[in-house]
Amino acid sequence: MTSLARRLIGAALLDTKIYEEVEADRRCNAQAFGVVLLAGVADGIGFRSLTDHDPRAFAIAVVGALLGWMAWAALTYFIGTRLMPEPQTKADLGELLRTIAFAASPGLFRACGAIPVGGDILYLVASLWMLAAMVVAVRQALDYTTTGRAVAVCVIGWALSVAIAVTVGVLFPPTVQ
**Looking at the domain assignment, is residue 104 inside a domain?**
yes
- The answer to whether position 32 is within a domain reads yes
Decide if 176 is inside a domain. Answer: no
142 part of a folded domain: yes
Give me the long-range contacts of 126-133 (CB less than 8 A, separation at least 24): 126/46, 129/12, 130/39, 130/103, 130/104, 130/106, 132/14, 132/106, 133/11, 133/12, 133/14, 133/102, 133/103, 133/104, 133/105, 133/106
78: pLDDT confidence band, cut at 50, 70 and 90?
very high
* Structural domain span for residue 22: 3-171
Tell me the mean pLDDT in the region 33-59. Answer: 80
- 177 assigned to some structural domain: no
- pLDDT of 62 strictly over 90: no
Q: What is the model's pTM?
A: 0.89
Domain tally for the chain? 1
Q: Which of 43-47, 105-109, 128-132, 137-141 has the lowest mean pLDDT?
A: 43-47
* 74 found inside a domain: yes
